[in-house]
Amino acid sequence: MVLRRLFTMNFLSKILDILLPAKCLLCGGLHDKGMENICLTCMDKIPFIKEPSCAKCGIPFEILYSIEDNPDYLCGRCRAAPPLFDRALSACRYDDTVREIVSAYKYQNKPYIGKDLISIVFRFLKDKIAELSPELIVPVPLHIKRLKERGYDQSYILAEGVGRELNIPVSYKNLTRIRYTTPQVELSGNERLKNVKGAFSIKDEFEIKGKGILLIDDVFTTGATIRECVKVIRGAGADKVYVLTVARA
């Protein structure tokens, strides 16, 4: 009986997908890609990061130096102060278009946009993530109070989507936010560092120890939150720590 109902619901939603074209989140245009919320024309406006970029933090180089012969070329910041992670990957720049998608995802109760963000990540990064062969995905967590306000955990949804596609397990509730913090967007660079200091903790070191970890968040801005997370993951004995974000400022 339950199976039959499920089948009917699935069948109905398939028919609805065909009959009702989806409305694009950005341009409002109708398109028949029932599963996605961003049309292909708008998807093409996303500033994907293509080479060349820093081999460590992934920041794209503004000037196209001839560095193709040196895949290990690092940006000035990484050379001056090497980051704690082994490698960071981002799919695109955090421009106005991407900001609009991410803020709809985080602040307008639209968890289903996670699917579009995962498509953005996989458009050019799928092979690169697979090459790093991480053994466990760890999402940057929300504080339980913020999770209750928002109703869903945006980084967990992304982590789960990436994990499912690449067949990598996702850690749940191990990396936790032990202190409620002011949203980083309201603070300056130095304040951000202070704000998240000591805000994270690992509950089960055994899950992390000796593994290649892929830390996932939506946006890499100053890197303060990511730095704190990487610090505790390293402290738990991770072998490698990679960072994946949809966008970077």
The residues that touch Zn ion, with contacts defined as CB under 5 A, are 24, 26-27, 29, 39, 42, 54, 56-57, 75, 78
Answer whether 229's CB lies under 8 Å from 140's CB. yes
CB of 55 to Zn ion, least distance (A): 8
Residues 6+ away with beta carbon under 8 Å from 136: 168, 169, 170, 171, 207, 208, 211, 212, 213, 214
- Pick the closer one to Zn ion by CB: 26 or 159: 26
Q: Decide: helix, strand or coil at residue 27.
A: coil
Kindly state the tokens that stand for 123. Answer: 């458009």
Strand spans (E) along 170-237:
175-177, 200-202, 212-220
- Pick the closer one to Zn ion by CB: 27 or 130: 27
- Pick the closer one to Zn ion by CB: 51 or 204: 51
**Integer-rounded Cα radius of gyration of the chain:** 19
CB of 215 to Zn ion, least distance (A): 16
CB of 57 to Zn ion, least distance (A): 3
- Pick the closer one to Zn ion by CB: 39 or 46: 39
Q: How wide is the angle at C-alpha 49 spanned by C-alphas 168 and 103, nearest 5°?
A: 75
CB of 28 to Zn ion, least distance (A): 7
Kindly state the tokens that stand for 222. Answer: 């100053």
- Pick the closer one to Zn ion by CB: 67 or 75: 75
CB of 105 to Zn ion, least distance (A): 16
Which residues sit opposite 90 in a β-bridge?
245
CB of 40 to Zn ion, least distance (A): 8
Q: Is 172 exposed, middle or buried (0-12, 13-18, 19+ CB in 10 A)?
A: middle
**Distance between CA atoms of residues 226 and 27, nearest Å:** 32
- Pick the closer one to Zn ion by CB: 29 or 235: 29
- From the list 187, 29, 226, 26, the residue with the least C-alpha distance to 110 is 26
Q: Which helix (H) or strand (E) is 242 found in, with range?
A: strand 240-248
CB of 79 to Zn ion, least distance (A): 8
- Pick the closer one to Zn ion by CB: 25 or 136: 25
